[in-house]
Amino acid sequence: MPRRILVLFAAFACLCSAQEFRSSLTGKVTDPSGAAVPNVKITATKTDTNSHFTTVSNSDGLYTIPFLPPGPYELAAEAAGFKSYVHSGMQIGSDLRVEENIALTVGASSESVTVTADAPQLESVTASAGQVITTREVESLPVNGRAPMDLRSEERRVGKECRSRWSPYH
């Protein structure tokens, strides 16, 4: 009996760990010479909800902002003796580890350097990839019964050649 409970617990733990949808933003803050800049206040603002996520770079200039919900973001960095850095138009997807290095420019903090992003973020830290499917896309799927496995046909990278001939879903 205890063995059966242990197996069920392990199976449940595996299922729960696969349910993470939030992402993390990580990177290094440097000055014009490429040296690390410590104690930089970094704020990621989710622009559609105006939620703020803040951290401070460590002594090596590294920072991490974990648990970011998917959506549009603006990244800002401030440090004494440097111009304010703003990167707007960032799109962070689901379950990603996005690397965004920040190069500060010497100047007054009242001045700012603004970077506008046009391209979607590339997952460069890990080899994982994913796609966010909106509620409207799910509701408009031409599938019978809205079976969860039918959603994999919506993912751009998955084609018929990826499906097993033994799969009940092909």
Name the CATH topology of 21-116: Immunoglobulin-like (2.60.40)
Q: Pick the residue with more confidence: 142 or 129?
A: 142
Residue ranges of the chain that CATH labels 2.60.40.1120: 21-116
Cα–Cα distance list, 68 to 23, 31, 75, 81 (Å): 5, 26, 12, 29
Q: What is the pLDDT of residue 137?
A: 74
Q: What is the pLDDT of residue 20?
A: 79
Backbone angles phi, psi at 89, to 5 degrees: 80, 15
Backbone angles phi, psi at 55, to 5 degrees: -150, 175
| pTM check: above 0.75 | no
Residue with tokens 């506008």: 116
Element (H, E) at 112: strand 112-116
Element (H, E) at 26: strand 23-30
Confidence of residue 122 (pLDDT cuts 50, 70, 90): low
Asked if pLDDT for residue 143 goes beyond 60, the answer is yes
